[in-house]
């Protein structure tokens, strides 16, 4: 086939394809998925989500179990949004040999629910003493934290107010609401810090909006000690496009990172298994006789072994990576097109041109691959598209059972984490729905494309 022939048959196919509306929808979705795949680093806030999915430190500045930010649009009680404050007022004073560096970060708090954490970050070298205090819009100032930091080029300083200033918050609250009996463990630091200083600050706080000044004072004793890149992150009560899970992971990043794995699993499994199935079916049809019977019995053995239990057992025993899993799926999926292809092959092999080719001296290999397989390629493509969702769902199932590849992030694994993290019980729908929808959409995409191709390429289904 030359290029122009190919172009002509492709345009013919496209003209037919356009008429099948579901197929066009499928193509649009497919295009969207491919765009996501290409632009993944640009659209996710945490591009290393795939590699660092199980790395707690990568996610530690995020809020835990936070719903998506856009739910603020639907509630009257606005929740604080995650943000990062990189601007500060800096001043340095000398006291003898000691340098006193002061960073003042301004945080404009305007929501009704306080952020879940405020974290100070800095990199540098040395062991400076850090003193952190906060100045509230009502003029009150609270000393939050005082400690010696240890910093080296490999170790950055990180101070979480929520964790380290609990006692300070309790003492502050007790001053203004002495009658409330609370215990240290039950106090949410930020709730106290960002509330009006009055009776009931612990149990029914009312937010104090305005500019908060976070003053970070660092005492540097030695000349070689230095501080760089100081910034503050505010972990909100809502986060990003799809919120976070209970391990503080950004679900949007995870779902988007899952696209490529779903595509890989689906397409590779479909490609390999359908190719094997088509060739097997054609050979079986072509050789005929007892060899055909034998090949069909082998096929029946494979088709009657239930894939999922085998896959579950194999996964549990061998802890396979994604490639092994694709391989195992191929072992079970290749049977899909065999029967149809064999019946088509039986028909094709009776064509005179096959006999003519044989009379010319063509080898069996040549007849199978030059004359028979090309006729089955359209069917193979449709069959591939229809096999993709199955493979994705199977991988998700295996992952949902906690047996997936632990080095990547797939939708099934997000769902598994949601399941074991009690997302259902605590109403964390943003943890369950997006990966589920993604699986459904990806499956739908390929099913639509496959059905449309099937409709066009399978003459039996043609209705006019």
Partner 1 sequence: MTEKIIEVKDLQKWFPIRRSISQFFKGEHNYVKAVDGISFSINRGEIFGLVGESGCGKTTTGKLIMKLLEPTEGTMFLNGEDVTHIEKDELKRYRRNVQMIFQDPYASMNPRFKIRDVMEEPLIIHKLGEDRDARMKMIEKALMEVKLNPPDEFLVRYPHMLSGGQRQRAATARTLLLNPELLVADEPVSMIDLSTRAEILHMMKEVQRDLGLTYLYITHDLSTARYFTDRIAVMYLGKIIEIGDPDDVIDNPVHPYTRALIAAVCEPVAGKVNKPKVVPIKGEIPSAANIPKGCRFHPRCPYAKEECWEKEEPQLQEIEDGHFHACRRWKEVVEEAGRG
Question: Rounded distance, CA 388 to CA 385, Å?
Answer: 6
Shortest distance, position 452 Cβ to partner 1, whole Å: 23
Angle formed at CA 167 by CA 130 and CA 188, multiple of 5 degrees: 105
Give the residue carrying structure tokens 């986060």: 239
| Nearest CB to partner 1, comparing residues 313 and 377 | 377
| Nearest CB to partner 1, comparing residues 210 and 288 | 288
353 contributes a contact to partner 1 by CB under 8 A: yes
Q: Are 179 and 199 in contact (CB under 8 A)?
A: yes
Specify the 3-state DSSP secondary structure of 368: helix
Q: Which of 37, 71, 314, 375 touches partner 1 (CB under 8 A)?
A: 375
Contact stretch for partner 1 (CB under 8 A) within 54-62, 91-99, 275-283, 356-364: 356-364
Q: Which of 356, 406, 437, 461 touches partner 1 (CB under 8 A)?
A: 356
Sheet with strand 226-235: strands edge to edge: 83-85, 226-235, 117-125, 157-160
Q: Which of 210, 288, 327, 374 touches partner 1 (CB under 8 A)?
A: 374
139 contributes a contact to partner 1 by CB under 8 A: no
| Nearest CB to partner 1, comparing residues 90 and 369 | 369
Contact stretch for partner 1 (CB under 8 A) within 56-64, 300-308, 368-376, 422-430: 368-376
Specify the 3-state DSSP secondary structure of 121: strand
Q: Which of 154, 360, 460, 463 touches partner 1 (CB under 8 A)?
A: 360
361 contributes a contact to partner 1 by CB under 8 A: yes
3 contributes a contact to partner 1 by CB under 8 A: no
Give the residue carrying structure tokens 């088709």: 303
User: What single-letter DSSP state applies at residue 174?
Assistant: H
Q: Which of 93, 363, 407, 426 touches partner 1 (CB under 8 A)?
A: 363
Question: Rounded distance, CA 84 to CA 201, Å?
Answer: 27
Contact stretch for partner 1 (CB under 8 A) within 141-149, 204-212, 275-283, 353-361: 353-361
- Residue 43: CB atoms within 10 Å: 14
Using CA atoms, how far residue 296 sits from 32, 196, 301, 307, 394, in Å, is 41, 78, 9, 18, 25
57 contributes a contact to partner 1 by CB under 8 A: no
Half-sphere exposure (Cβ direction) of 159: Cα atoms closer than 13 Å: 28
Binding site for partner 1 (CB under 8 A): 351-353, 355-363, 366, 371, 374-375
């Amino acid at each position: 086939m030359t290029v122009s022939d190919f172009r002509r048959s492709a345009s013919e196919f496209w003209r037919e394809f356009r008429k099948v509306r579901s197929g066009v929808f499928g193509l649009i979705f497919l295009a969207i998925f491919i765009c996501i795949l290409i632009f993944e680093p640009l659209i996710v806030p945490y591009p290393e989500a795939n590699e660092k999915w199980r790395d707690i430190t990568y996610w530690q500045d995020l809020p835990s179990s936070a719903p998506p930010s856009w739910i603020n649009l639907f509630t009257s009680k606005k929740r604080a949004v995650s943000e990062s404050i990189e601007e500060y007022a800096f001043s340095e004073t000398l006291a003898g040999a000691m340098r006193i560096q002061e960073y003042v970060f301004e945080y404009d708090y305007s929501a009704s629910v306080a952020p879940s954490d405020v974290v100070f970050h800095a990199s540098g070298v040395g062991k400076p003493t850090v003193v952190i205090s906060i100045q509230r819009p009502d003029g009150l100032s609270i000393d939050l934290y005082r400690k010696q930091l240890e910093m080296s080029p490999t170790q950055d300083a990180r101070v979480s107010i929520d964790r380290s200033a609990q006692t300070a918050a309790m003492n502050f609250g007790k001053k203004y609401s002495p009658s409330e009996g609370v215990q240290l463990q039950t106090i949410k630091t930020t709730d106290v810090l960002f509330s009006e200083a009055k009776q009931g600050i612990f149990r029914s706080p009312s937010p104090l909006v305005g500019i908060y000044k976070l003053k970070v004072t660092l005492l540097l004793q030695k000349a070689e000690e230095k501080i760089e890149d100081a910034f503050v992150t505010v972990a909100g009560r809502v986060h990003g496009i799809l919120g976070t899970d209970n391990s503080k992971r950004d679900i949007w990043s995870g779902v988007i990172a899952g696209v490529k794995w779903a595509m890989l699993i689906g397409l590779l499994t479909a490609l390999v298994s359908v190719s094997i199935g088509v060739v097997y079916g054609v050979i079986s049809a072509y050789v005929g006789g007892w060899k055909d019977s034998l090949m069909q019995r082998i096929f029946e053995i494979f088709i009657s072994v239930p894939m999922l239990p085998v896959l579950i057992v194999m996964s549990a025993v061998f802890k396979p990576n994604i490639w092994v899993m694709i391989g195992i799926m191929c072992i079970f999926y290749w049977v899909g097109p065999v029967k149809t292809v064999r019946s088509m092959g039986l028909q094709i092999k009776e064509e005179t041109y096959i006999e003519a080719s044989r009379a010319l001296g063509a080898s069996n290999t040549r007849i199978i691959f030059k004359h028979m397989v090309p006729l089955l390629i359209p069917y193979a493509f449709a069959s591939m598209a229809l096999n993709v969702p199955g493979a994705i769902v199977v991988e998700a199932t295996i992952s949902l059972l906690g047996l997936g590849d632990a080095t990547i992030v797939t939708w099934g694994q997000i769902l598994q984490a949601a399941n074991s993290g009690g997302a259902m019980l605590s109403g964390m729908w943003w943890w369950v729905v997006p990966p589920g929808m993604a699986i459904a959409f990806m499956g739908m995409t390929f099913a639509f494309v496959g059905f449309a191709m099937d409709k066009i390429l399978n003459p039996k289904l043609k209705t006019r």
